[in-house]
Every structure is written in structure tokens, then in C-alpha cells.
Amino acid sequence: MSKVVSSLNEIIDLLKIEDGMTISFHHHLRNGDYVLNMVLEALAQKGLKNLNVNASSVFDTHQPLIGHIQNGVVTGLEANYIGGVVGRAISEGVLAKPVTFRTHGGRPSDISKGTAPIDVAFIAAPTSDTMGNCTGKYGKSACGSLGYAFADAQYAKKVVVITDNLVPYPLTDFSIPEIYVDYVLEVDSIGNPAGIVSGTTKITRDPVGLVMAQYAAKAIQASGLLKNGMSFQTGAGGPSLAAAKFLMDIMLKEGVKGSFGLGGITKYMVDMMNAGCFESLLDVQCFDLDAVESIRTNPRHREISAMQYASPNAKSSAVDSLDVVILGATEIDTDFNVNVHTDSNGYIMGGSGGHSDTAAGAKMAMIIAPLTRARLSIVVDKVLCKSTPGNTIDVLVTQHGIAVNPLKPELALRFKDAGLPVCDIHHLKKVAEEITGVPKRIKLGDKTVANVIYRDGTLLDTIKSVR
Amino acid sequence: MSKVVSSLNEIIDLLKIEDGMTISFHHHLRNGDYVLNMVLEALAQKGLKNLNVNASSVFDTHQPLIGHIQNGVVTGLEANYIGGVVGRAISEGVLAKPVTFRTHGGRPSDISKGTAPIDVAFIAAPTSDTMGNCTGKYGKSACGSLGYAFADAQYAKKVVVITDNLVPYPLTDFSIPEIYVDYVLEVDSIGNPAGIVSGTTKITRDPVGLVMAQYAAKAIQASGLLKNGMSFQTGAGGPSLAAAKFLMDIMLKEGVKGSFGLGGITKYMVDMMNAGCFESLLDVQCFDLDAVESIRTNPRHREISAMQYASPNAKSSAVDSLDVVILGATEIDTDFNVNVHTDSNGYIMGGSGGHSDTAAGAKMAMIIAPLTRARLSIVVDKVLCKSTPGNTIDVLVTQHGIAVNPLKPELALRFKDAGLPVCDIHHLKKVAEEITGVPKRIKLGDKTVANVIYRDGTLLDTIKSVR
């Protein structure tokens, strides 16, 4: 018995894939992924139409998706993140139906609740055995964790594993077990290694970034949360990584031993664990080769599913035990609502990912962002898109000062006591506008091009077309 | 946030456990388990009645269950195996409603299909963190694999972890993730170590057992299945273990490198892997301390869920890839149907466990049994209970000869070519009856005390009361 089939065409026939079905993909191969394009091309060749694509994230390498939308092969799109290339096309109205944006925790939650059903899940697996036991830890296309693919495997009606490293049964160190897999397809390559782990953004050397990072680390130190057992997540942007580096210095100097590092994992988080800052790493996605090597070889670096990372439909998830998260923003408004979906012109170029999940779970959610960007204030009256509700954001760190959500007065006091430059968020807006001038409110179109679904499944905001 | 509660009473209140509910248990603590008795005692103290107990297995240590049945606390019982003490009470009619017997693969299958719903699962966990990430690998009550508990965790409405080794969050090397767990209770002890891993039966020294074991090993050698990549499961009985030892000698001598050893894992299977006979072990249950130590320290020794072990409702399970299994029998009839539920007097003292699952999956399912036991032939006209259908059994090995199922004529030819004493199963029955005399057919009662459900969910047989 073997589940290995010879081609995508054979799979399409065996699974009786039909017009209108929902197919799903995960994004651990990131901008190196070949699988989404490969599958859509095969489906298009077969003449299928009206497909709904549920991809945990869409990257620029998925540009061919635009053509499939234009010719009616794909008429629905659900994602937690959409990069600028496909995002621009969506904002310009290429898709008749609004995109459904979810969060990294909301997606598996909705899948498990049955509100985001999947007909066929395609799992890009850097290594699989002949029965579908598969992992991202080994193989030429190794990507480390397969965290986002677990819900697809568990709940999709049919599951196809696509691999470029087929090994004999059984693959003992599997991530996703054979019990969920219908077919296995071997191909020459599932991805471009240069794009899969494209290398974490380097720690910023920009003086503004370093100022913010210092403030952020000192704010964590002053928050009362920096103590033995602290858990931590940070984004992969330059200032966030610099903040992590400064935090590491403080933890080592003060002998603070944290419990776990969470999230998309970078070399810097691996270094922190190995230096003794954390007992363990809980990893839903690896961002670079150091993280891949670590998850393969260090038992304290553990792969977790997106359910376990952040699903509000789980009995609990790791974000519920998270102390501090450092996050980015394209805009933040004076109510602390954050936009990570669109740029300042309203074009889609991102998405929640785990932003609102970690903000909701963490004891302290900190935004780190330069006060102005491209001659615009990042602090605005009202964000173009509410990606993360303001009542879950505690702190905004900029190079011109730190604003604390009025919901957390004790935090502001602690920061002030530590000599940090605490100020009102309206003040930061004013400072920014003194530099940039008051921006003209941009005019968006009438068409809704995306619905932003909060992690609990409710509609949080809509995104309008750009005219 | 923590899920830790202070007592079973608190859990009963929090979960609003009511009369008539189904509660479940797993049996990795075997005859050392304290948890089933502890929970039932608390429920009885609370005055609950009419409970349905779904336990993957019931051991002699669970004798208090009889009292709970007599006083109406428990009125339903589902299990894959019931030891002689509780089995005798069942056979004597203590329970008004028939017991539901399933198999180790059929139980998670029925649970996942919703035909065996569970209200509250109680998971005995040798180590757990405060959010319910738990494992059997560590702690004073370490039992190794928690394979049978996965389906309970995943599908029960509510899940309680009971541990005697509570550790800080996160337990990185968890088996069952927090996403399924509602509450965690710490107690002094979840089990008696002497009973948890009571030590595997030693390899038989009985001359009859050694003759059978030699035949069995030679039959596997002659079967055509003994080649690189062979997979293997054996029971923990003395002759089965001796057969494994002889098989190991042959594999090492001939340089055969198998793929995986499966099942309940003993020291002997660990030795075979470490000697190079198998690439890996897939472990749903550890039988002894050597197996526990191995699964804790050797990445090639992998814990699998009961779904992955044997569930027919999985897309595939390990038994589907199994080449050879050696199994026991209390009776086998001339149609090769096997009884492992009752003794020759009709008293319940066992159950399918993985017997019929592995027999259905394996390329060659071999029964090894002495031709007579307690002055009775083990070959009979019709088994008292059909535990495993004859069409899934290929070979019966006794000290007086080897009978091959007529459905497998090529296997009989191979054995004959190898000089093995192949004979008709009717001949074996005759030989046995020449020794023991023709037994009087025992008379059973009219009351159905158990329904034997096959792995696919259908009724395979019923067990009648003993008068």
C-alpha cells in the first residue's frame, strides 16, 4: 500500500476536484514557494473555474494568482497576509468578491469550527514518506516548522502532500501524521531555497531604529514583566530585532531566565535561547536557516501548530501565556488601533498574521515604529484599516517618545519612574505633523475589496478599493 | 492564567458532571493505575449515578469498579480489554447492560466518528504543565507512550489531566497539547510504579514454547517477507517473545534490516532496534522500563496515537503497512476465528486490544499457541467468542505442527519447501483431542453480557453469561 501518485492531474481526477471547491495552502516556503503556483496552473490547465483559495499567506512569488483571478479560475481568496504584488491587484479590484482576511490564530479556529471549510488541502512538505507522514525539518527545501499546515491536514476533506524528498515508510520524526493524508506527490522541487528562508532582516544600524530599540528594551525592563519565567515574542523587523538584542543584554546582565520564546522564530531568538534567556522556543514558523537548524537538532526548540500558537477556539494556546510581544505597524491611531494590512495609500501589502492574536494574549503588547515614514505620520486620527483593536495594544514606542494606552495607567507610571520619555499619543501625532505637515485624508473607492475578520470570527473592518 | 484546580470535587462542579454522562480513561498505567478508581470514588461520593465508563482497558486493579456497578454509579462499560477480576463479575451478570468491547483501532475510530461520544476524559499524565501540555515520558510514574489517550483528548467534550508531576509552562516535550485540555489536577500519586511497568514476561524457557518459537521464526523466514524493510509486531507472551528472539538471530545472521517495529513495545523490541534489526519503533504503549527509557531518549523510538496505530477511520494507520504480526489465542476454530476475550469456561478475561487490527492489516498474521492448555484443545470447532475473524488469520503455529489458512495456499507451499511441519488445522484438532479427549461443549447462560464490536464498528459477536 502506498499513497504515492504520479502527477497533479492524477490527483485532480482521483479527488474529483470540481468548480467552486475550496483548496488550501500554507506559507512556510514563503517567497520561495512553488506549490501554490504549481497546483493552480494544473487546475487551470484542467479547465477548472470558480475556485476558492485559502492560503495562510500570499507572497509576491504568487503573482500568477492574479492571472488565475483574471481568467476566472480563482474567484475567492482567504489569507492571513497578502504581499504587495497581489495586494495591489486586489486593492485595484481584480477580484469581484472581497478577500477574507483572518489571523494566524483565527484561521485554524475558523477551520476547526467549520466556518472555513476546505475541500482539498495541498501541503508543501520538505520531506514525506510514502504514506504521508511528513515534516519540514529535513530535505533540500527544509523550512523547519509546518505549524500553519496542521489545521489544514486535520480538517480538510482531502489532503495531498507534495514533496521533493520522498523517503521510505515510516518517517519517524514526522510533524503531520499519515492519518490525515490521502495522496503523496513527488516533484522535482517544491521551492526556491533562496526564497524559503530568505534570511532574517539584520538588526537595524539606523540610529532612529536603535533609539527605539533601546526605549523598547528599557520599557520591558521597567514594566515589571522582566523576571524569571518571562515569555516573549518579537517580529522580524530591524528595530524589533534590535530591541530583542538589547533585551538579551539586559536579561544576561541581570541573570533573568525566561520561560519561552514564541512565534515565527529567527536566529536572534535561537541565540537568546542558547545564551540562557529562554528555556525553550515554541515555533510555528522558521524565518531563517539558523532557526531551521535549531528546530531540527535542539529538543528545546519545539514545533507547534497554529492552533497551539494562537487559536481562540483551542482550550488554550501559547499566546494566552505570553508576557511581552513586540509588533510593528504601518499606522496606529489615537485609540491605539493598528493597521498592518495596507500602506498609507490604502493598498493592501500585509495582513494580521499573528499581530492581533499576540496582542490579545500578551500581558504587554508593544508597537515599535518610527514616528514618520515616507513623510507621513504613523500616528493618525483613524487607521485606514483596523487590523488590531486598540484595547489590546498597550504601548507605542517611537524615537520621539513612548505612548501608553490610557487603559494601562500603572504601566505609564512604571515607565515614568524609569525615566522613559512617556507622552500622550496625541502629542506624538502633533510632533509628527510638525515634521510632515497634516496629511490630506486619502480618498478610497466604494468597492469593498477585503473583509478583515478578527480572531474570534467577527468582522473587524473592511478594506476599500484604491481608485 | 492556569488550568490547575485543587480537587476532583472542584472539577466535578466546574464541569457540571451529571448522571448518565460518559467518562473515559486510558490504560497506560496498566495494573498500577490509580486514576480510574480515584475518579469513580469521587463521583460516587458526590452521589452520581448511571455513568458510562469508556476505558481503553480495565485491569484487575480496577476491582472497585464492580462495587460501583453494584450500587448503580456505573451502568455502562466500554473497553478494549477487561482483565479476569472484573471480567468474571461481568460474565456473572453484574452489569444489566452488555459491555461494549472494541479494538485498539476501533475505539479511536468510533470516537472520531462520533459513535462513541465522551463527555469528560480523564487523562492520567506522568508529567503535565499548568496548561495541560502533558506526556508519559517523565516523572516518577513515567509510562512512556500515551498513545491511547490522544483520541480522548481530541474528541471528548471536556478533558481533565491528572498528574503527579506538575511542571512550569511550557512542557516542551509534550505528547498531548494544551489545546485540548480544560483542567489540570495535581495529586500525590497517579499510580503504583510496580504495576505500571510490571516487567515484560520473560522469554519462555518451556521446551514446548521454544519449539513453537523456533517454528514461528522459521515460518517468517520462509514466508518471503523476511527482507530489508520488513515491519513487525509481536505480543508480550513468552513464546511470542522467544519467537522475536529467534527472528532477531536470523535477521542479524542474514543481515536483514527491517523498517519498523510496532505496537506495545517491550525491551525485546528495543533490543532488536538497537541491534540494527529495525530502523525505528512506533509505540502506542510501553510494556516495561526499558521501553520507557528508550522512548524518552531515542528519537528513532516514536510515540504514536492509537489512531495512527490502527484506526480504520484514519486515512491510513501503521497496521496498514505491517508485514508480520505474532499473536496469541485462547481458542482458535477450524475456520481460523480466534478468541482472546474469554477463557475456555466462557469467562471474560481479555479482549481484542490490537489483535484484530493487526491481523487485518498485516501481510501475515500468525497465531502462536500450545496445542493444549489446561487439558483442553485450543483448536475447536467453533470459538466461544469470535474476537478476530478467521479470514484475517494466516497461520497457526503449535508445537505439533503449523496450520495455514486455506486462503493462503502459496504460504503453505513456502513452508513445506522450507521443511516446516505443515498440516491441516483439522488434523491439529484431532491430535489435540487424542491427548485431551473431546471436550464437552460448555453451556452458557442466555443473557448477553458483552457485544464484541469489530474495528469497523459492526457487531462481530456477543458474549453470553456464565451460569
Kindly report, residue by residue over B448-467, the tens digit of the pLDDT.
999 999 999 999 999 999 97
pLDDT, tens digit, for every residue of B307-328? Answer: 999 999 999 999 999 999 999 9
Q: Is residue B73 part of a domain?
A: no
The three-state DSSP-derived secondary structure of chain B is CCCEECCHHHHHHHCCCCCCCEEEECCCCHHHECHHHHHHHHHHHCCCCCEEEEECCECHHHCHHHHHHHCCCEEEEEECCECHHHHHHHHCCCCCCCEEECCCCHHHHHHHHCCCCCCEEEEEECEEECCCCEEECCCCCCCECCCCHHHHHHHCCEEEEEECCEECCCCCCCCECHHHCCEEEECCCCECHHHHCCCCCCCCCCHHHHHHHHHHHHHHHHCCCCCCCCCEEECCCHHHHHHHHHHHHHHHHHCCCEEEEEEEECHHHHHHHHCCCEEEEEEEEECCHHHHHHHHHCCCEEECCHHHHHCCCCCCCHHHHCCEEEECCCEEECCCCEECCECCCCCECCCCCCHHHHHHHCCEEEEECCCEECCEECEECCCCCCCECHHHCCEEEECCEEEECCCCHHHHHHHHHCCCCECCHHHHHHHHHHHHCCCCCCCCCCCEEEEEECCCCCEEEEEECCC
In the prediction, which pLDDT does A199 show?
66
Domain boundary among A128, A161, A196: A196
Q: Cα–Cα distance between B113 and B370 in angstroms, integer? A: 39
pLDDT, tens digit, for every residue of A349-400? Answer: 999 999 999 999 999 999 999 999 989 999 999 999 999 999 999 999 999 9
Asked if A316's CB is within 8 angstroms of B169's CB, the reply is no
Least confident of A147-156, A305-314, B26-35, B201-210: B201-210
For the whole model, what pTM was predicted? 0.97
Please give the distance of CA A187 from its chain centroid, rounded to a whole number: 27
pLDDT, tens digit, for every residue of B162-177? Answer: 999 999 999 999 999 9
* B212 lies in the same domain as B185: no
In the prediction, which pLDDT does B467 show?
79
pLDDT score of A272 more than 70: yes
Q: Cα–Cα distance between A377 and A432 in angstroms, integer? A: 5
* B314 lies in the same domain as B181: no
Q: Is residue A26 part of a domain?
A: yes
Find chain A residues with C-beta within 8 A of B183's C-beta.
none
How far off is chain A from B458, nearest CA to CA, in Å?
21
* A186 lies in the same domain as A311: no
Q: Cα–Cα distance between A57 and A194 in angstroms, integer? A: 18
pLDDT score of B268 more than 80: yes
CA distances from B167 to A147, A438, B130, B187, B291 (A): 24, 54, 7, 13, 23
Q: Do residues B314 and A179 touch, judged by C-beta distance below 8 A?
A: yes
Q: Cα–Cα distance between A233 and A317 in angstroms, integer? A: 14
Q: Is residue B125 part of a domain?
A: yes
* A263 lies in the same domain as A342: yes
Beta-carbon neighbour count of residue B250 at 10 Å?
15
Asked if A1's CB is within 8 angstroms of B321's CB, the reply is yes
* B158 lies in the same domain as B234: no
How many distinct structural domains can be found in chain A? 2
Q: Do residues B117 and B20 touch, judged by C-beta distance below 8 A?
A: no
Q: Is residue A277 part of a domain?
A: yes
Query: Is the peptide bond between A108 and the residue preceding it cis, with omega within 30 degrees of 0?
Result: no
Asked if B314's CB is within 8 angstroms of A170's CB, the reply is no
Q: What 3-state class would DSSP assign to A88?
A: helix
Domain range for A350: 207-443
CATH number of the domain that A29 lies in? Answer: 3.40.1080.10
pLDDT score of B200 more than 70: no
Give the nearest chain B residue to A362 (CA atoms). Answer: B1
Asked if B308's CB is within 8 angstroms of A177's CB, the reply is yes
Asked if B260's CB is within 8 angstroms of A315's CB, the reply is no
Q: Which amino acid is at A67?
A: G
State the average pLDDT for chain B.
96
Domain boundary among B172, B196, B220: B196
Q: Is residue B78 part of a domain?
A: no
Residues of B near A (Cβ–Cβ under 8 Å) read: 1, 3, 131-132, 159, 168-170, 172-174, 177-182, 229, 259-260, 279-280, 282, 299-300, 302, 304-305, 307-308, 311, 314-318, 320-321
* B174 lies in the same domain as B283: no
Find chain B residues with C-beta within 8 A of A305's C-beta.
177, 179
In the prediction, which pLDDT does B236 show?
82
State the complex-level ipTM.
0.96
User: Read out DSSP for A416-450?
Assistant: HHTT--B--HHHHHHHHHHHH-PPPPPPEEEEEEE
Q: Band of the pLDDT at A265, cuts 50, 70, 90?
A: very high
All three cell numbers of B91, joined, read: 460474565
* B22 lies in the same domain as B128: yes
* A280 lies in the same domain as A135: no
pLDDT, tens digit, for every residue of A164-199? Answer: 999 999 999 999 999 999 999 999 999 998 888 776
Strands A444-453 and B134-135: unpaired
pLDDT score of A302 more than 90: yes
Q: What 3-state class would DSSP assign to A286?
A: strand
Q: Is residue B84 part of a domain?
A: no
* A192 lies in the same domain as A223: no
pLDDT, tens digit, for every residue of B388-404? Answer: 999 999 999 999 999 99
State the average pLDDT for chain A.
96
Least confident of A190-194, A422-426, B36-40, B147-151: A190-194
In the prediction, which pLDDT does B385 show?
98
Q: What 3-state class would DSSP assign to A103?
A: coil
Q: Band of the pLDDT at B199, cuts 50, 70, 90?
A: low
pLDDT, tens digit, for every residue of A207-263? Answer: 999 999 999 999 999 999 999 999 999 988 889 999 999 999 999 999 999 999 999
Mean of pLDDT values over A451-464: 98
